[in-house]
Amino acid sequence: MEMAAWWRRHALSLGFLALALTSGLAVGFGSALVSGLHASADSRPTFYIELFFAAVGALVAIAFALARADIALPSLVLLLAFLPSRTGMQWRYVGHAIVSVTDLVILLGMAVLLVKTKVRARTRLQPIVVRTPLWAWLAVGMLGLILALDHGAPWVNWAASFKGFYYWILIVVLCVNVVRTPRMLRLIMAVLVFSALPTVLSAIRDAVSGAANVRAILPDGTLIYRTTGGSGLVNQYAFYIMAVFFVALGLMLTARRWPERILFVACTVGCLVAVYLTYTRGAWIATVIGLVVFALVSGRKTVASLIAVTIACAAFAPPALWGRLSFGDSSVAERVNYAQTAFAAIHAYPLTGYGWGSTFETVGRIVVPILKEADMPFWHDDYLIVATQVGLPGLAVFLWVWAALAWSTVKTARSTPPGFARTTMAVLLGATAAMFAQAFTDMFYWRNETGPIVWLIVGLLCTAINMARARPAGQATAPLNEPAPVEAGAAA
């Protein structure tokens, strides 16, 4: 009955949206007739480039989105949950200057949100848990941008860094202002999991058939096949599917019916198998760290269960796992060389760095800044990238963001009764800890393939915290169809 009433109320709007999307698809297929639209070497097939232009064409729905923000905003957030599984939906301008569908969705979502709250309702945006360190991080960003412009860094260099470390944070703002009920939160988490399943199945298929993209030889001579799920970049795929694993784990633990729980058990196991098949040591170690954090926040029973599962996995682990955990290969040696150059740059510019988009090389014992167009720091460590570009104080502020988020989550979880909100906070904090840990081994925050999912997870975590803080004392969950009001002081 309620569904029928909802359909009658929104039938015209949904029809207009369908017409707009159809027009966008027509524009997208027509773009195939335009010369020069070819996928770059590290992008997905040309089909996704065409789909990108289809999405651009679909922006004729802006008028609808502004008129019916109650439908448009949740739809855009759901689209943001789907897009990380389609990293090829992007247009590479030059080097690392990339425009993706994610960027367009964020821009449209923020425009609709600001019109809805500031122009129509004349209300304030919902508070973000870590707003104080984020404001400090914005000040650091302005300093890094000024230095980049002063040193003459090409815009294609600093734009990529600035977008990765700042623009995508707007996803957090969208999440806390749009996702207001546990049902909507679960829906977004489910979209994030289900959209990743094709890549999981592709990874398993490649491992079984031996058609994996990356082959490696272990120190004992064993040949392994590192799967990428069709994504092209093995470490970035491992990072993505690791985050999805924690989301699937949260859905499994909070499922109310056995069929739903069995479904998410299969999704959780599949994602974990995909993480293993990447043979990415950083993802393996980060997954363990994330599980430990999740267990500590959840309670003693979860810690005991984790210990039992860890012992069982260690007992039956294949030899290839232990062989891959050897750290005497060329990959580790390369990272040591990168770190030495980065530390030399930090020693030369400890307070301010050299600005966004800068990188360095060593000439003898002297470190020399490089401002070559389309060149980015290749330290295989996001925190070294931050330190070399905005200095050690900037790195301290960046770490403050993550420390404040962890502290707020733990503090809120301790005062929240067992239930959906507490479990969701614990599992999303585990995902955040895992991503934070793996960022010590490669570049993820500013990359188009992985950066948006970092801030999507953070946004969902902040949403769960706001929901928990808005609960009356002793109440574990809210009605699934009612928004959880957030008090202005909840972000203290």
Sign of CA dihedral 444, 204, 457, 409: negative
371-383: average pLDDT: 78
pLDDT of residue 486: 42
CA angle (287, 293, 299) in 5-degree steps: 130
pLDDT, average across residues 348-356? 87
Q: 212: closest CA among 282, 284, 275, 277? A: 277
Count of residues for the chain? Answer: 492
The C-alpha atoms of residue 272 and residue 287 are separated, in whole angstroms, by 9
Q: To which residue do tokens 């000024």 refer?
A: 146
Residue 1 — very low, low, confident or very high, per pLDDT cuts 50/70/90? low
Statement: the pTM of the whole predicted model exceeds 0.85: no
User: What's the mean pLDDT in 382-409?
Assistant: 92
d(C-alpha 357, C-alpha 146), whole Å: 11
Cross-strand pairs, 224 = 216
State the number of CA atoms in the 13 A half-sphere of 415 facing the CB: 14
Among 175-184, 368-377, 397-406, where is mean pLDDT lowest?
368-377
376: tokens are 């980015």
Calculate what percentage of the chain has a pLDDT beyond 70: 69
Q: Is 80 exceeded by the pLDDT of residue 167? A: yes
* 242-281 confidence digits (pLDDT tens): 999 999 999 998 888 888 889 999 999 999 988 988 888 8
Return the higher-pLDDT residue of 38 and 224.
Answer: 224
| The pair of three-digit structure tokens given for residue 379, joined into one six-digit string | 């330290």
Local confidence band at 458 (pLDDT 50, 70, 90 cut-offs): very high
pLDDT at residue 33, as a whole number: 43
Nearest to 153 by CA among 366, 416, 400, 357: 357
The stretch 68-73 carries a mean pLDDT of: 67
**Per residue in 57-79, is it b (16+ CB within 10 Å) or e — as a string?**
bbeebeebbbebbeebbbbbbbb
Q: Provide the pLDDT for residue 469.
A: 85
CA distance 476 to 487: 18
Query: How confident is the model at residue 37, as a pLDDT?
Result: 41
Instruction: Please tell me the least confidently modeled range out of 10-24, 103-117, 258-272, 346-360.
Output: 10-24
Q: Quote the pLDDT of residue 348.
A: 87
Average pLDDT, stretch 441-450?
Answer: 84
Q: State mean pLDDT over 447-460.
A: 89
Predicted confidence at residue 251, as pLDDT, reads 92
Query: Left if phi > 0, otherwise alpha if psi is -120 to 50, otherwise beta: which for 155?
Result: alpha
Burial class (CB within 10 angstroms; exposed 0-12, middle 13-18, buried 19+) of 187: middle
pLDDT(87) > 50: yes
Q: Supply the mean pLDDT for the chain.
A: 77
pLDDT for 131: 83
Please give the average per-residue pLDDT across 339-364, as a whole number: 84
Indicate whether 2 pLDDT > 60. Answer: no
- CA quadruple 381, 303, 245, 315: dihedral positive or negative? positive
Report CA-CA distances (Å) from 59 to 66, 92, 115, 208, 278. 12, 20, 17, 41, 36
**Which pLDDT belongs to residue 115?**
78
Cα 35 from Cα 29, distance rounded (Å)? 13
**Contacting residues for 376 by C-beta, under 8 A, at least 6 apart:** 95, 96, 157, 160, 161, 357, 359
pLDDT tens readout for residues 40-64: 444 444 555 555 555 555 554 555 5
State the Cα–Cα distance between residues 170 and 176, nearest whole angstrom: 10
> What Å distances lie between residue 292 and 240, 270, 309, 424, 446, CA to CA?
19, 20, 12, 15, 26
Dihedral of the CA atoms 183, 431, 380, 357 (nearest 10)? 40
Mean pLDDT confidence for 17-32: 51
Rounded CA-CA distance 257/469 in Å is 26
pLDDT value at 418 more than 90: no
Selected residue with higher pLDDT from 171 and 358: 171
| Distance from C-alpha of 490 to C-alpha of 487, rounded to nearest angstrom | 5
pLDDT of residue 4: 63
Q: What is the pLDDT of residue 437?
A: 93
Instruction: Compute the C-alpha angle 289/290/295, nearest 5°.
Output: 100
Q: Which residues pair with 363 in a beta bridge?
A: 366
For the ranges 24-38, 326-340, 353-367, the lowest mean pLDDT is seen at 24-38
Q: Quickly state the pLDDT bin for 481 (edges 50, 70, 90).
A: very low
Q: Say how far apart CA 442 and CA 444 lie, in whole Å.
A: 6
Give residue-wise pLDDT tens across range 175-193. Answer: 998 888 888 899 899 989 9
pLDDT band at 137 (very low <50, low <70, confident <90, very high): very high
**Residue 165: strand, helix, or coil:** helix
* pLDDT (mean) for 436-460: 89
Residue pair 61/71 in contact (Cβ under 8 Å)? The answer is: no
Token pair, residue 334, equals 């390369």
Each residue of 205-243: pLDDT tens digit? 877 776 666 777 766 666 777 887 776 678 888 999 999
Mean pLDDT of 115-131: 78
| pLDDT at residue 335, as a whole number | 79
State the average pLDDT over residues 372-384.
Answer: 79
